[in-house]
Amino acid sequence: MKKIMCKKLNKEAEALDYLPYPGDLGKKIQESICKEAWEQWVSHQTMLINEMRLTPVDPKARKFLEEEMEKFFFGDGSQAPQGFVPEK
């Protein structure tokens, strides 16, 4: 099990053992984001898709999700849609 210093969680944790996304962004994520943070993104992305009724095959939706992914991992974070209330 390879460990990395995760930039999202700011701790040493288990590295991803696969390229999670194509291209340079996927390489950057694989090199600096741990499995735990990736799982958090997958949950957040699912919420975005469901709440905003996105179709992941739509190029506009994919571009939006990619921008949100960059914010989530390397920016100020990706926010939930306005009015979103998480289940308890």
Read off the pLDDT of residues 8-66 as tens digits, 9 standing for 90 and up: 999 999 999 999 999 999 999 999 999 999 999 999 999 999 989 999 899 999 999 99
Which long-range contacts does 6-13 make (Cβ < 8 Å, 24+ apart)? 6/32, 6/33, 6/34, 6/36, 6/37, 7/32, 7/33, 7/73, 7/74, 8/33, 8/34, 8/37, 8/40, 8/72, 8/73, 9/34, 9/36, 9/37, 13/37
Q: What is the pTM of this model?
A: 0.87
User: Does the residue 81 lie in any domain?
Assistant: no
User: Does the residue 24 lie in any domain?
Assistant: yes
Domain of residue 40 covers 3-74
What pLDDT, on a 0 to 100 scale, did the predictor assign at position 85?
Answer: 67
User: Does the residue 88 lie in any domain?
Assistant: no
Number of domains, the chain? 1
User: Does the residue 83 lie in any domain?
Assistant: no
User: Does the residue 9 lie in any domain?
Assistant: yes
The angle formed by the CA atoms of residues 27, 30 and 21, to the nearest 5 degrees, is 60
User: Does the residue 79 lie in any domain?
Assistant: no
User: Does the residue 23 lie in any domain?
Assistant: yes
The CATH number of the domain holding residue 51 is 1.10.3880.10
What pLDDT, on a 0 to 100 scale, did the predictor assign at position 56?
Answer: 86
User: Does the residue 85 lie in any domain?
Assistant: no
